[in-house]
């Protein structure tokens, strides 16, 4: 969340930022509650001062009638203080909730807008493949090679779930291990994170665990939720701590399952594996000093590029517009891979995101570091190394051959043990 002092001193800038993100956050309500909180705090201080004077007078007073009156006044003051403290606590909580609804400040270079067309392409890698046949989409390829079963999963779990089968299972594991090896080379501490987090940790990282806008499955009566991304569990890793950044950023990589409700996510580009309720992902997370976070964002983006460049997947880099940044991000870059089966003639589809959340998450989670004898809120960043289903879409569609077989990128062969998927395994 933003610093209340910053909001007070930069009202117009904060309001312009909210408008630029096309959100309805109420900055004036924050200011009203802040003023109300301060008035209540001042009232309590005055009531306590009067109570102390009353107590001192009682200690000196010997007249029974006067003393009785002072005792009565003391009781009234105590009741007034208790009532004011309750109001102060309620107002403070309301203020905190109002501040949490204010988005992070957008980077000045982030494109302003709210639609996909408003984001800005800033680079490309690789040649879009040219086929001498009509390319299939990943659903056709997976059906022909018996790699994915949506129908059985719908019967067992519901729509947008799936069974991976045969070589697709090995590719899932291969992609995860491939990404983890690259991150290990870049000095990330690799982890397998819990798939469940406390609701306050999810909220602290900027995800709404409850409400109509939530994309998260909550576990009723437990105060916990299934994570939509390991950003939540990696962001909570240092919650409430003063961390040591004297030797550079803390870099964590997390392998986890991810669970997303994906409510209202229907559409032709949401078919198949592109938008599902459960998937495997390897996430990057970094804790940095304030002055290092912009540089670290570029490093995360470079690692994402390395992963997809070595896979031989054509991609483009997109600087995401302000209206699509979400609450925590100051700036976000997406990698969009070419997907030949997307639409009529192929199209780009998001496969990774890298975001700088500055100190927005750290303020909510209480994560600080020491600098020149003082503590400062850390900056946090996150980036997708591999989201397996979308990587599978890219591999299948870009590696397809006319006979329906699929070539496997050379870098994955040591992990999966095969160079192609040629023949469908027995259908069960």
Choosing from 21, 37, 364, 390, the catalytic residue is 390
Range 116-421: architecture per CATH: 2-Layer Sandwich (3.30)
Tell me, what's the pLDDT at 208?
Answer: 81
Distance spanning both ends of the chain, measured CA to CA: 51
Shared fold status for 4-100 and 116-421: no
Q: Which helix (H) or strand (E) holds 113?
A: none
Per domain, the residue ranges of the chain are 4-100, 116-421
pLDDT of residue 67: 79
Which of 106, 256, 293, 353 is an active site residue?
353
Query: Is residue 350 annotated as part of the catalytic site, yes or no?
Result: yes
From first to last of the 428 residues of the chain, give the pLDDT tens digit: 899 999 999 999 999 999 999 998 999 999 999 999 999 999 999 999 998 988 888 878 778 888 788 888 888 999 999 999 999 999 999 999 999 999 999 999 999 999 889 999 999 999 999 999 999 999 999 999 999 999 999 999 999 999 999 999 999 999 999 999 999 999 999 999 999 999 999 999 998 877 777 889 999 889 999 999 999 999 999 999 999 999 999 999 999 999 999 865 556 677 899 999 999 999 999 999 999 999 999 999 999 999 999 999 999 999 999 999 999 999 999 999 999 999 889 999 999 999 999 999 999 999 999 999 999 999 999 999 999 999 999 999 999 999 999 999 999 999 999 999 997 665 55
What's the CATH class of domain 4-100? mainly alpha
207 pairs with which residues across the strands? none
Q: Is 260 a catalytic residue?
A: yes
Length of the chain: 428
pLDDT of residue 425: 61
| Alpha-helical regions (H) of 340-381 | 360-365
Which of 350, 355, 363, 394 does the annotation list as catalytic?
350
Active-site residue, from 275, 289, 316, 376: 275
Helix (H, G, I), strand (E, B) or coil at 243: strand
Distance CA 110, CA 356 (A): 12
Catalytic residue, chosen from 37, 199, 256, 260, is: 260
What ranges in 264-343 are assigned the alpha helix state H? 293-310
Measured in degrees and rounded to the nearest 5, phi and psi for residue 315 equal -150, 165
Reported pTM: 0.91
DSSP 2: -
Measured at the alpha carbon of residue 334, what is the angle toward residues 376 and 174, in degrees to the nearest 5? Answer: 100
Indicate the burial class of 395 (C-beta count within 10 angstroms; 0-12, 13-18, 19 or more): buried
Instruction: Judge whether 390 counts as a catalytic residue.
Output: yes
| Alpha carbon distance 118, 112 (integer Å) | 7
Per-residue model confidence (pLDDT) at position 210: 78
Q: Which residues, in sequence order, are bridge partners of residue 318?
A: 121, 334
What is the per-residue pLDDT for 426? 58
Give me the pLDDT at residue 267, please.
Answer: 62
């Amino acid at each position: 969340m933003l610093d209340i002092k910053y909001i007070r001193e930069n009202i117009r800038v904060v309001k312009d930022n909210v408008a630029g993100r096309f959100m309805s956050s109420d900055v004036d309500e924050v200011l009203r509650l802040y003023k109300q909180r301060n008035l209540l705090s001042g009232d309590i201080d005055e009531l306590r001062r009067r109570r102390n004077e009353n107590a001192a007078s009682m200690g000196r007073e010997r007249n029974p009638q006067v003393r009785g009156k002072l005792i009565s006044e003391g009781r009234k003051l105590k009741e007034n203080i208790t009532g004011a403290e309750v109001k102060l606590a309620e107002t403070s909580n309301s203020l905190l909730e109002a501040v949490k609804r204010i988005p992070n400040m957008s980077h000045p270079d982030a494109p302003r807008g709210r639609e996909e067309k408003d984001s800005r392409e800033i680079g490309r890698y690789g040649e879009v493949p040219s086929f001498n046949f009509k390319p299939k989409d990943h659903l056709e390829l997976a059906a022909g090679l018996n790699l994915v079963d949506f129908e059985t999963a719908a019967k067992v779990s519901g729509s947008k779930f799936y069974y991976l089968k045969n070589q697709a299972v090995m590719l899932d594991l291969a992609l995860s291990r491939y990404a983890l090896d690259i991150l290990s080379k870049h000095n990330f501490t690799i982890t397998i994170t819990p798939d469940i987090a406390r609701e306050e940790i999810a909220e602290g990282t900027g995800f709404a665990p409850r409400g109509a806008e939530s994309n998260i499955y909550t576990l009723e009566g437990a105060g916990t939720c299934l994570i939509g991304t390991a950003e939540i569990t990696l962001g909570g890793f240092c919650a409430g701590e003063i961390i040591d950044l004297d030797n550079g950023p803390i870099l964590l990589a997390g392998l986890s399952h991810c669970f997303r409700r994906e409510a209202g996510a229907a559409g032709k580009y949401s078919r198949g594996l592109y938008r599902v309720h459960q998937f495997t992902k390897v996430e990057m997370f970094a804790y940095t000093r304030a002055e290092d976070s912009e540089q670290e964002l570029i490093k995360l983006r470079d690692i994402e590029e390395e992963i997809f460049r070595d896979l031989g997947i054509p991609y483009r880099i997109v600087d995401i517009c302000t209206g699509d940044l979400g609450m925590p991000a100051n700036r976000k870059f997406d990698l969009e891979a070419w997907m030949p089966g997307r639409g009529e003639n192929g199209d780009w589809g998001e496969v990774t995101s890298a975001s700088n959340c500055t100190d927005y998450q750290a303020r909510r989670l209480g994560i600080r570091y020491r600098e020149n004898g003082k503590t400062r809120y850390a900056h946090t960043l996150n980036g997708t190394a591999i989201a397996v289903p979308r990587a599978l879409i890219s591999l299948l569609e870009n590696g397809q051959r006319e006979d329906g077989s699929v070539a496997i990128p050379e870098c994955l062969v040591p992990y999966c043990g095969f160079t192609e998927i040629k023949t469908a395994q027995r259908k069960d």
